[in-house]
Structure 1
């Protein structure tokens, strides 16, 4: 009996010592997931909110507006419902609600988005502008702050993105390809191959806006566009939709800017968003309005079917950090053989090394730890 009591005491002490020394996560505590996530969004955007939760917004899922999913761990997502509804009395919008991004500022939540403008006297087929809506909760409801778009540059624009830098606010957006034919060596090559008569392009611009998101400060600055020459190292990957004969457009869109070690990184997408060649690259600048230099290791995210994978159409990404700030992730949409034409959401870890080189650990479909 005495021996039994001594054994019990020893086991209890071992358990106490082991429990006290194991202050980190054990392997059984690790959170694992696999792509794609069970969310059918295009242009996904994740807000890491002050309430401790993650909120994901994106294109699709609801009629004439935007919905949101919430999560405590980036793996299990709960649909919270529609948070913004367009085409309402007093709204400047009418259809095609795309690419929402939500920012938490001073206890309020600001949504930037693209939609077709009701003011369309010439009957343009693409009449996109950028608007702002505000809510008191990440789950909305979001209400437009004006009965007009943020501004009218005179051509259709989409894919709003915001960078707050040294007390100032900068807006990035993409000019649509619509009615923007561009002469280049690529265009000349395309004509010589009897693929298309002209090539339209979309370009990324930046402009300062007021900190209350209501007015534009100064004039827009052209920051990124597809390469001009055939021998440019970026031309091959940024022109695949055109050179393959798929469409007569070259896109530079879906920009997302963030700061890292004193530099401004801008990630962007190229090629047709509805095709397999949609891919992501990045450029770096010293200032929010450039000039930006494209990275030599582009693209950093693209289809993987040629290497035995099943993912295509990877694009329109954004970047966020884990709650402890230790890891950097990118969220983007893509397609798999199983999902077909439907865009679904992927999350993969992203790194920037000591030399400033950005890489993405994806597209992945195998089980991974967050």
Structure 2
């Protein structure tokens, strides 16, 4: 009798596990009911659950949504607030990413630094907070940012190399960073803008305890200088459309497949319809990186009769079944200006090219 009982218990557990894995292979219904910009998903092995962090949901801090299957998400509340002893940020808390490392959880984020003697309009830096759980509370590890490069920076992303080194990637903001290019010359000749500011992506080694950087940051990606560059058209749409005098290279996400390092990144204005995702490849985590001729790999679908715009600032997560998903934010003509989280499959083909099977959308008429 006991043998039969154990058999049925084992069968029930196996079927439950099978159903759970199968559900993760089902395309989530986009957009998700998660009002985030810059979404980032952590799969936590210890709790066997998925945790989504992003910009928005609470003032001067971050909240988390939790899921067992990446299709249904529940808001679990605030995980970080600047109402703490070591807080150095005063506003504009953006782009959180959480990493599990040696049993602890580390929240990397951007915020406006309170140390602002020149009253700069954009005074962003990157900080790190620590917790014992992905649910927080995350407490700042020091009363200041990780480092001060002398210009505003946002969008931290980490890569843990096989040799034990840790690299941090970030975007230098456009603020007060006017750059000469054929696009800026064109815009001035057209009477559109007197100058064009740009954001660039840098990489730098991070100390093992995340307290400081090691060495000097390396410039990895920037907008094209020449209009004949194949990347120039899609990366310059915010300027050529007359939207704003800025070109962005931001929201980087790096991973390794085989011997190739892939850096995904976003271009154009995050608040506009032309926000889109491309990628570049390298044989070393600090480059040099070469942009893919297939860019962009994720963009608005309105030209094909769709309703999605503003697709960008992505991260990746691999579920229990081994499927890799691209997590990003976007807008639809039916849901309005609020940025919402989307999840679509990421595919790497036999030639090593990336493809995002999206944006997909499932909205009731």
Give the TM interval when normalised to the shorter protein: over 0.9
State the Cα deviation string for residues 139-184 of structure 1 (Å, max 9, x = none): 0000000111000000000000000112100000000000000001
Q: Quote the Cα distance in structure 2 between the aligned partners of 1:201 and 1:339.
A: 30
Q: Runs of 5+ in structure 2 lacking a partner?
A: 1-10
Describe the superposition over 1:241-284 as per-residue Cα deviations: whole angstroms up to 9, x where unpaired: 00010000000000000111111100000000000000000000
In structure 2, the partner of 1:94 is 90
* Offset at residue 192 of structure 1 (A): 1.2
Aligned with 1:343: secondary structure? Answer: strand
In structure 1, the partner of 2:312 is: 315
For the residues of structure 1 that align with 2:270 and 2:335, how far apart are their CA atoms? 15
Aligned length: 348
The 5 A counterparts of 1:1-370 are 30=23, 31=26, 33-50=28-45, 51-166=47-162, 167-325=164-322, 327-366=323-362
The unaligned stretches of length 5 or more in structure 1 are 1-18
Q: Please say if residues 86 and 139 of structure 2, whose CA atoms lie closer than 8 Å, have aligned partners that are also in contact.
A: no
Q: Per-residue deviation at 1:321?
A: 0.8
Kindly indicate whether the alpha-carbon contact (under 8 Å) linking 2:36 and 2:54 is maintained by their aligned counterparts in 1: yes
The structure having more radius of gyration, on CA atoms, is 1
- Whether the 8 Å contact between 1:107 and 1:136 is mirrored in structure 2 is yes
- The answer (yes or no) to whether the contact 1:87–1:94 under 8 Å persists in 2 is no
Q: Is the 8 A contact 1:87 1:95 kept in 2?
A: no
Q: TM-score if structure 2 supplies the norm length? A: 0.92
Supply the distance in 2 between the matched residues of 1:146 and 1:188 (Cα, whole angstroms).
44
Distance 1:47 1:263 in 2: 23
What TM-score does the superposition give when structure 1 sets the normalisation length?
A: 0.91
Query: Once the 2 structures are TM-superposed, how far is the Cα of residue 328 of structure 1 from its aligned partner?
Result: 1.1
* Partner secondary structure for residue 178 of structure 1: coil
Segment drifting more, 334-343 vs 218-227: 334-343
RMSD, aligned α-carbons: 2.0
What residue is the counterpart of 1:15 in the other structure?
none
